[in-house]
Structure 1
Amino acid sequence: MQRRHLPPLNALRTFEAAARHLHMGKAADELGVTHGAVSKQIVNLEDQLGFPLFHRLGNRLELTDQGQKLLKAATTAFDQLGYAIARLEGETIAGELRVSVPSAFAEKWLVPRLAKFVDAAPALKLSLLSANASYDSAGGDVLGDGLDLAVRFGEPVWKDGTARLLSHVGSFPVCSPLLLSEGSGLATPNDLLQHTLLLDDPQGANWLRWLKRAGVSLPQLPRALYFQDFNLLLAAAKQGLGLCLADRITAGEDLARGHLLRPFRQSIEHLGAYFIVLPPLVLPAARAFADWLEAEMALAGAPDEFTVS
């Protein structure tokens, strides 16, 4: 559809409100018009588009497949328009923003940079919540408890939000220099079988996948210790308890300071990447924070190459 043939903005705004509430009366109350006016706008919009947007089920509404797609597009467009107008008017980012991030990502990467965003949005009340493996529900939801934005590592399969790629990362084993100065050596990945492996998932699936990609086949892991919190995992590695899998974001500072070492050059993308997860309705503050995260990640440099040689 060419731009000059787009439906009237007022009709799209009425549809967005009705689709969000799934109720004509509530949309009418929000827009300050009558129920009949909302219904007429929706009917005219459906006639112009040539397909239904709602299933009418008595007093209830249910979006059709086309309606769901249009709601997503309209929500994104109105959010972007509102944010752009706010910036043109010189409006500061204000209100409250609730953000959930993995604890290691927050401590190792986000917090050292956070002053830049806080200084740019002094009127914003930012709540930073720590997330670990037990934070998310079994159903794959990450935006509960009134969260406006979340950062997660893995694959973009979360059910209650839209994932924006933040950064690919390669995973690699790290250990304390103490571990290399005593006990079994670490000349090849096969030597890992003689050491304790530190796990960030109970069954060791991450390690098993990494070892397989590195050419080490085994039915089960050797000695292992599991830590639910990734910061505890890194602390255990620095104490010489074993080796853990890390990436440039979570282990970069410890590697630079010599607190951790990489015994091999293999860097394997084993689970996915870091993603920003946003709800269907995105606050201007959340969009600004997401844009800032992406800009800071770009400044941090290119990700590791994923090699197994």
Structure 2
Amino acid sequence: MQKRHLPPLNALRTFEAAARHLHMGRAADELGVTHGAVSKQIVNLEDQLGFALFQRQGNRLALTDQGTRLLKASTTAFDQLGYAIARLEGEMIAGELRVSVPSAFAEKWLIPRLAKFTETAPGLKLSLLAANASYDPASEGRLGDTVDLAVRFGEPVWQDGTASLLSHVGSFPVCAPRLLADGPGLGAPADILRHTLLLDDPQGANWRRWLARAGLPQAEPARTIYFQDFNLLLAAAKQGLGLCLADQITAGEDLARGQLLRPFRQSIEHLGAYFIVLPALVTPAARAFADWLEAEMQMGQEWPAQQPDPDS
């Protein structure tokens, strides 16, 4: 249907209210009109469309298949229009914002900066959900209905969201200071092979890429341990269990405090990257938070590495 043939906006608004409540009387109360006016608008809309939107199931009102699809489309359209007008009017950021983030990203990068955002939105109810928690609705490539924005590390493939790049990741080996003092030492990249390598991917693809970058394309480490959670990976590295590949986003503070050291300058671009994922319907709060994340990340790109990469 072309835009010029759309039904009257008032009829669609009446339908959306009636379909949401599944009750003509409640829709009439919401819209400030009579029950008869709501019924008349629905009948006229059905006549114009050429199919039924509601059906009776005993004393209950139910939607037809076409009515269900039209309810979803009209609710999204009215909400998006309302959000757009709110942004034009400069409405204060308020309501609820539900953000799903990887736990390591939240702990190491987001939380130390979060007060900057919350101070600009005192009326906002913010909820942070851990992306690696079992209840996370954004797992397995889906955002779900209970998340307004997600930060994800990996590839930009989501079934019900739109991803935009937040930051590429430059990865380099890090270890605890005790690893340099005890054991076989780390005088040259080849010495890494005598240590345990801590993996953030089961096959060790990123470590193989780094070893090739350091001139060791066929190298095999003595031992490896895989960690599904990046926080556990960093904790193991800080305890001296081995070396892991880290980056300035999640390990910058530990490097600055000397809890982790960067023994070699070589770095690689990680196979994954950080993305902001937004649903089709973006609230003003989610848009403001996404803009703030991008601005903060751009500022963070100016952090100096502990040792410069010779090819940078």
Q: TM-score, normalised by structure 2?
A: 0.71
Distance in structure 1 (CA, Å) of the matches to 2:78 and 2:293: 22
CA distance in 1, matches of 2:7, 2:241: 63
Contact 1:75/1:280 (8 A) holds in 2 = no
Normalised TM-score (structure 1): 0.72
Partner of 1:212: 212
Letter in 1 for 2:253: E
Q: Is the 8 A contact 1:209 1:270 kept in 2?
A: no
What does the per-residue CA deviation read over 1:6-54, in whole Å, with 9 as the maximum and x for residues that have no partner? 956987989x99xxx9xxx77xx999784576679989xxxxxxxxxxx
Output one character per residue of 1:103-159: Cα deviation in whole Å (capped at 9) or x when no partner: 111111111111111111111111111223877789832423611111111111122
Q: Report the Cα distance in structure 2 between the residues aligned to 1:276 and 1:194, rounded to whole angstroms.
A: 38
Cross-structure match for 1:298? 298
SS of 1:120 mapped into structure 2: coil
Q: Distance in 1 between matches of 2:44 and 2:208?
A: 60
Could you say which residue in structure 2 is the equivalent of 1:258?
Answer: 258
Is 1:174 equivalent to 2:174 in the alignment? yes
Match of 1:54 in 2: none
Question: Which residue of the partner structure matches residue 155 of structure 2?
Answer: 155
> What is the CA RMSD across the aligned residues, in angstroms?
4.3
Cα deviation, residue 212, structure 1: 3.5
Query: Secondary structure at the residue paired with 2:173?
Result: strand
Per the TM alignment, residue 283 of structure 1 is displaced from its structure 2 partner at its CA by: 1.5
Q: Residue in 2 aligned with 1:279? A: 279
Cα gap change, 1:215/1:79 in structure 2, threshold over 3 Å: closer, same or farther?
A: farther
Give the deviation of 1:209 after TM superposition. 3.4
- In our comparison, the structure showing a higher alpha carbon Rg is 2
Q: Which amino acid aligns with 1:140?
A: E
Separation in 2, partners of 1:243, 1:111: 25
By how many angstroms is 1:259 displaced? Answer: 1.1
Note closer, same or farther for the CA distance 1:122–1:138 as it changes in structure 2 (3 Å cut).
closer
Aligned residues: 278
2:185 maps to 185
* Structure 2 residue ranges without an equivalent (≥5): 32-37, 51-63, 67-72
User: How far apart in 1 are the matches of 2:109 and 2:164?
Assistant: 18
- Partner of residue 289, structure 2: 289
Aligned to 1:64: none
Tell me how far apart the structure 1 counterparts of residues 274 and 163 of structure 2 sit (CA, whole Å): 10
In 2: Cα distance, 1:308 partner to 1:134 partner:
41
Match of 2:88 in 1: 85
Task: Give matches, 1:216-235, under 5 Å.
Answer: 216-218=216-218, 221-235=221-235
**1:8–1:247 CA distance, 2 compared to 1 (3 A):** farther
Which is worse superposed, 119-128 or 77-86?
Answer: 77-86
CA distance in 1, matches of 2:177, 2:217: 26
2:146 matched to which residue of 1? 146
Distance 1:259 1:129 in 2: 27
Conserved in 1, the CA contact under 8 Å of 2:201 and 2:228? yes
2:95–2:123: 8 Å Cα contact kept in structure 1?
yes
* Structure 1 residues not aligned, in runs of 5+: 1-5, 44-58, 62-69
CA distance in 1: counterparts of 2:174 and 2:303, whole angstroms: 17
d(CA) in 2 for partners of 1:109 and 1:272?
Answer: 17
| Range 116-125 or range 34-43, more displaced | 34-43
SS in 2 for 1:269: strand
Partner of 1:237: 237
Per the TM alignment, residue 219 of structure 1 is displaced from its structure 2 partner at its CA by 7.5
Deviations 1:201-250 (A, max 9, x none): 33333323333344423476531122232122111111111001111010
CA distance in 2 between partners of 1:184 and 1:156 (Å): 40
Q: Could you tell me whether the CA contact under 8 Å between 1:79 and 1:284 is conserved in 2?
A: no
Q: Secondary structure at the match of 2:268?
A: coil
Conserved 8 A contact 1:109-1:250: yes
- Aligned-partner Cα distance in 1 for 2:123–2:248: 32
> Is contact 1:172–1:267 with CA below 8 Å preserved after alignment?
yes
